[in-house]
A and B are shown apart, each in its own frame.
Chain A
Amino acid sequence: MTWSLARPLWDMAGYAETAGVQRAAGDTSPAADAVLLARASEGDEQAFAGLVDRHYGFVFRVAARVLSEAADAEDVAQEAFVRLWRDPGAIDNPAALKGWLARVARNLAIDRIRRAKPSTADGLDELPDGSTAPDGPMRHAQAAALVTQALAQLPERQRTALQLTYFEGFGNQQTADVMQVSVEAVESLLSRARRTLREMLSPAWGDLIEELDQLK
């Protein structure tokens, strides 16, 4: 059996018991994770490919928000899935798979940062001036880049809380579970993240709002 996502799962010939896996892979409900995980824990490679298909993008984004380098984020996402493959039994509750993957990816990413530069992570550097007055109004891409850069400079915990709740749609309890903090702490991190972003973006705030108004 060779691993492949190049072809859809339902197009793989010579595989005896694909019907359940195919249905689960195409199903976006959390219950489908239980089916795929159970099959993967029996060594079913195609079921595991289904899990990769469903969750790789999410795991990559969680890692990318912490690391900001695509190659590093790919390494971390890969390692998180390798750990899942080696020991699918580590997931007690299949409904918690996504949270488990997020927690592993985040911890791996933090380890990587600490190994690379032990004491300088999360420094709040000054953002470049977002104002583009000499060239006219701020462009859409510039605005997006400026906000992305500000996000990247948030302390890791604030950034991860925002990534999980705002961008990934996690509830605050789910985020608290991933980050191993209380729900109150998550809310506090979110509040500080948004306040810090406002402060970092304040020099360009007027231009950014103008760009948003043009997008309406």
Chain B
Amino acid sequence: MTDPAPHSGVTLSAADRQRLDELLQSYGRNPLRWPDADRQRFAGLVRAPQLLPAEAAAGADALDRLLDLAGAAAMPEPAGARARLLQRMASEPQLATDVTALPPLGGLRGALAVGMLAASIAIGAFIGLDTGAGETLAGSLTASSGADEVLDLVLADPAELDDGGVL
């Protein structure tokens, strides 16, 4: 069933109406705040705002304006906060991420590095192919994964769970 608005050429299906209601409830009355896809879908409503569910639209509009009031009265930055941050930065070292800055490996150090790499590969191949240790390792990893889930539950804030938990 569709509901045409006089002179607007816009019609709304039941699904459209339901989605409009959801948009008003979640994002408010201003279509600029709606997701892009929904804004495009309902672009015709600019010419036919009377098709919006009147009560829901009025309620959403009032709440938008109240939120704007609160936004304008938001907590101001403490005076000098940025300067204090920049002062602190002056004593903070950066992580060395430029590997080209490291001295080149050569001579004895280079041979040692190549030897350690080869030994690591050999040990890995031995564990993976020959000893069944891989299965033991897999078992312990499974147990560890289960422990993580328990830990997540323990750490979860009860209020967060009340708030819908993990969505």
Which A positions have Cβ atoms within 8 angstroms of B?
2-6, 41, 43, 45, 48-49, 52-53, 56-57, 60-61, 64, 68, 70-71, 73-74, 77-78, 81-82, 85-89, 114, 119, 121-123, 140-141, 143-145, 147-148, 151, 155-158, 162, 165-167, 171-172, 181-182, 184-185, 187-192, 194-195, 197-198, 201, 208-209, 212, 215
Contacts and interface: CB of A to CB of B under 8 A. Distances in A.
A81 B164 contact: no
Contacts of B123: none
B83 A6 contact: yes
Contacts of A82: 85, 88-89, 92
B97 A41 contact: yes
A181 B74 CA distance: 26
Given A74-B78, A82-B89, A166-B33, A194 B66 contact: no
Contacts of A86: 92-95
B90 A123 contact: no
Given A144-B70, A151-B70, A194 B26 contact: yes
Q: Which 3 A-B pairs have the closest CB atoms?
A: A3-B86, A122-B159, A185-B167
B87 interface: yes
Interface residues of B, number: 48
Contacts of B162: 155
Contact of B73 (A87, A88, A141, A209): A141
Interface of B is mostly: helix
Contacts of B158: 119
Contact of B160 (A6, A53, A64, A122): A122
Interface of A is mostly: helix
B75 interface: yes
Nearest to B83: A5
A155 B66 contact: no
B157 interface: yes
Given A158-B163, A185-B167, A85 B73 contact: no
A57 to B, nearest CB: 6
A81 B160 CA distance: 27
A87 B22 contact: no
B36 interface: yes
Interface in B68-102: 69-78, 81-90, 92-95, 97
Contacts of A74: 77-78, 81, 84
Nearest to A148: B70
A189 B66 contact: no
Given A41-B97, A60-B81, A181-B167, A194 B63 contact: yes
Contact of B78 (A5, A71, A157, A201): A71
B31 to A, nearest CB: 14
B157 to A, nearest CB: 6
A73 B75 CA distance: 10
Nearest to B62: A209
Contacts of A2: 90
B95 A89 contact: yes
B137 interface: no
B43 interface: no
Contacts of B33: 165-166
Contacts of A156: 159-160, 163
Given A82-B92, A86-B94, A189 B74 contact: no
